[in-house]
Amino acid sequence: MDKMKMETVDMTAQNIDKIAALFPNCITEMIDEEKSTVDKKVYKKAVNFDILKQMLSGDVIDGDEAYEFTWVGKRASILEANKPTRKTLRPCKERSVDWNTTKNIYIEGDNFEVLKVLQESYLHKVKMIYIDPPYNTGRNYIYRNDFSVDSGEYDVQAGLVTEEGARLASNPVGSARFHSTWLSMMYQRLLIARNLLTYDGILVLAIDENELYSIGIILKEVFGEGTYEHVCVSVVHNPRGQQGKNFSYTNEYAIFVFPRIMKVISDRRINDEDVSWSPLRNWGSESERTDAKNCFYSVIVKNNKIIGFGDVSSDDYHPTQTVKDGDTYYVYPIDRQGIERKWRYARQTVESIWSMLRAKKISGGYDIELGKTFGVQKTIWDDKKYDANEYGSKLVSEMVPGGGFSFPKSLHTVFDSVYACTASDKDAIVMDFFSGSGTTAHAVMKLNAEDGGNRTFIMVQLPENLHEAASRPGLEARLKSNIKATIDYLDEQGYEATICSIGEERIRKAGAELKNQNPLTSNKLDIGFRVFKLDDSNMNDVYYSPDEYSQSLLSSLESNIKSDRNDLDLLFSCLLEWGLSLSLPYSSEQIETCMVHNYNDGDLIACFDENIPDTVIKTIAKKQPLRAVFRDSSFADSPSKINVGEIFKLLSPNTSIKVI
């Protein structure tokens, strides 16, 4: 009966194994400084990088010159991204909405650690990641990264807290590591985040001009130039007065990173309810039929609705109307001046999307096949709906007085991004690990309400204390007043004064509003969310290093599990290690004197009681679960533990059994 690790996978060890499978001659050994003692040396596998470089080159390697983008702390950030963590996620049912039925997840905690914890459960399962990280303006507070301290102080070394204990810190422009600090913070998170994306998954990253070019290079390095497209979309805002010394800042940017296997991402510029063909028209340079013959074709319309498409005509003229069986049909493409124009897209492309839209209308829903979605997104999003103040700040303030934010993203900016990436996958998982006020969760629910989708979200946000935020030096009076109003509101509602409380309350309010707006179509809309908090391991130190404790000391320790942890804490930490998602249903039942938990109808059955009778073990084994887990102290002695294994061999031989 194996023991659970109660820590995430060691990515460095996994990567070395992958290299060993391809290039065994590049693997060597080195002393493991952490596990070695004065009396005993412990060795571990390592990579001989000089040989590996030569294996990957057709020329003799001589010298260190290479094309690369680097900064102070880059190697340390890679090291930290690959390290395992013993952190865990603890359920918070009291803060959740529809805990038993919802598929949505909200996690309070540092996103770097949370991404590590989620690696096994959500490996290649997330279709879209949308992030709006703190911009490196010199004024914003960002996640601290300082790799100069002792390696034992993990949280400080990983940049999770400063030497003084502050998790967030300002990054003044005059700092010697102004760019390096921000880049390290982003790089290590992106390295882990890529592992969560599906093979056709898309990352969308919002950024301003301060680090636009740097992050672009990082994205190409993390995702690869040969396998991913990197498209920068400009989002235009109303500047509201002079913001810069010479010009106002009117642009933000959304970088879309998606696999080259995707031909296009979705747009919403065609339907069969009207004939608004302007987006399809090529209003640019003229073109002869000989240049773009397939872009000259007829669109047949009756009573302002499309009824079909004509073939490309051999002549240079299309009639504007025709009569058949007494009915009049109007035929395009004749523009307002009566001049024939070419379309942007070939007839087959438009006819294909029209057919799918008709299928949607008839059947009530359909899935667009990858590569057959219609249209290419505009490179410049200049509609006023993308304005962060009008459709970001005001919207949050309407739901949570004060809002507590300066300029959260416009709901429309995020909504259009989510639509573009998930129109062909209505069951997509959408993640935002800088979730802030919860705009991404709002956008996902809104899109589901519109198209009947079942997309789910995973939001991650550091529970930054609003009292501390309000006391920061240099904060303008208006923002202080907003934060104070938010704190007062959260206090009245009985919530903690944190940014997470703002996000969670916004999701509650937005979900209720969507239900009220669409009572007939949104009866099955999932507006709930399970809340989890990142915390230290459920296990005491003795669990990980029993050999460091003498027998006399071990006997004085009542349990290797921390006293403040309950069954639900243990259950979810086990399912995370086993790679099960956080949103699956589960039940608990009393079997004789024991409480037994059944996750996703037998994917995992757990019992953490002391001295479990054989009769209960047999009842569990008869359910034939895929996995079973017990406490080490659930059994009086080694023979009792061996007996459990024998019971399962007899009644459920395929069950994987572990203890904590």
What are 541-563's pLDDT values in tens digits? Answer: 878 876 665 555 555 455 789 99
For the segment 145-167, the average pLDDT, to the nearest whole number, is 43
288 bridge partner residues? none
Q: Which residue has the tokens 């993390």?
A: 222
Closest CA to 176 of 148, 205, 152, 216: 148
| Integer CA distances (angstroms), 289 to 104, 116, 387, in order | 52, 56, 41
The b/e string for 492-524 (b: 16+ C-beta within 10 A; e otherwise) is: eeebebbbbbbbbbbbbbbbebbbeeeeeebee
Confidence of residue 515 (pLDDT cuts 50, 70, 90): very high
For the segment 610-622, the average pLDDT, to the nearest whole number, is 95
Range from 10-19, 54-63, 189-198, 355-364 that averages highest in pLDDT: 189-198
The b/e string for 80-113 (b: 16+ C-beta within 10 A; e otherwise) is: bbbbebbbbbbbbeebbbeeeebbbbbbbbbbbb
pLDDT per residue as tens digits for the range 324-351: 777 767 666 655 565 666 776 777 777 7
For the segment 620-644, the average pLDDT, to the nearest whole number, is 91
For the segment 277-302, the average pLDDT, to the nearest whole number, is 65
Res. 390: pLDDT tops 90? no
Give the pLDDT confidence score for residue 370 in this predicted structure. Answer: 31
Give the pLDDT confidence score for residue 374 in this predicted structure. Answer: 40
In this structure, of 360-364, 464-468, 503-507, 595-599, the range with the lowest mean pLDDT score is: 360-364
pLDDT per residue as tens digits for the range 576-588: 999 999 999 999 9
Beta strands 321-324; 228-236: pairing state: unpaired
Confidence of residue 252 (pLDDT cuts 50, 70, 90): confident
Q: Which percentage of the chain shows pLDDT scores above 90?
A: 40
- Under 8 Å between Cβ of 259 and 197: no
Q: Which ranges constitute the DSSP H helices of 253-368?
A: 347-363
Confidence of residue 479 (pLDDT cuts 50, 70, 90): confident
Confidence of residue 26 (pLDDT cuts 50, 70, 90): confident
Range from 165-179, 195-209, 401-415 that averages highest in pLDDT: 195-209
For the segment 242-265, the average pLDDT, to the nearest whole number, is 75
Give the pLDDT confidence score for residue 208 in this predicted structure. Answer: 87
Res. 369: pLDDT tops 60? no
Give the pLDDT confidence score for residue 178 in this predicted structure. Answer: 67
Could you give phi then psi for residue 229, rounded to 5 degrees?
A: -90, 145
In this structure, of 157-171, 486-500, 614-628, the range with the lowest mean pLDDT score is: 157-171
Res. 171: pLDDT tops 70? no
Angstrom distance (rounded) from CA 154 to CA 149: 9
Give the pLDDT confidence score for residue 567 in this predicted structure. Answer: 96
Give this prediction's pTM: 0.78
Higher pLDDT, 226 or 137: 226
Could you give phi then psi for residue 529, rounded to 5 degrees?
A: -165, 140
For the segment 32-57, the average pLDDT, to the nearest whole number, is 81
Q: Which percentage of the chain shows pLDDT scores above 70?
A: 75
Beta strands 604-607; 627-630: pairing state: parallel
Give the pLDDT confidence score for residue 170 in this predicted structure. Answer: 63
Question: Which run of H or of E encompasses 570?
Answer: helix 567-577
* Sequence-separated (6 or more) residues with CB below 8 Å from residue 445: 457, 507, 510, 511, 514, 525, 526, 527
- Under 8 Å between Cβ of 142 and 136: yes
Mean of pLDDT over the chain: 81
Give the pLDDT confidence score for residue 373 in this predicted structure. Answer: 38
The CB-side HSE value for 590 (13 A sphere, CA atoms) comes to 2
Angstrom distance (rounded) from CA 608 to CA 566: 9
Angstrom distance (rounded) from CA 202 to CA 266: 12
Higher pLDDT, 176 or 294: 294
pLDDT per residue as tens digits for the range 409-438: 899 999 999 998 998 899 999 999 999 999
84 bridge partner residues? none
Res. 277: pLDDT tops 70? no
Q: Which ranges constitute the DSSP H helices of 430-498?
A: 439-451, 466-470, 477-493
Rounded to the nearest angstrom, the gap between the alpha carbon of residue 36 and the centroid of all alpha carbons in its chain is 38
- Under 8 Å between Cβ of 635 and 628: no
Res. 488: pLDDT tops 70? yes
Res. 134: pLDDT tops 50? yes
Res. 186: pLDDT tops 50? yes
Exposed, middle or buried: residue 240 (CB in 10 Å: 0-12, 13-18, 19+)?
exposed
Angstrom distance (rounded) from CA 216 to CA 221: 9
Higher pLDDT, 476 or 319: 476
CB atoms within 10 A of CB 584: 14
Range from 126-130, 228-232, 273-277 that averages highest in pLDDT: 126-130
The CB-side HSE value for 457 (13 A sphere, CA atoms) comes to 33
Closest CA to 172 of 147, 138, 198, 144: 138
3-class SS string, 357-399 = HHHHHHHCCCCCCCCCCCCCCCCEECCHHHCHHHHHHHHHHHH
Angstrom distance (rounded) from CA 480 to CA 589: 49
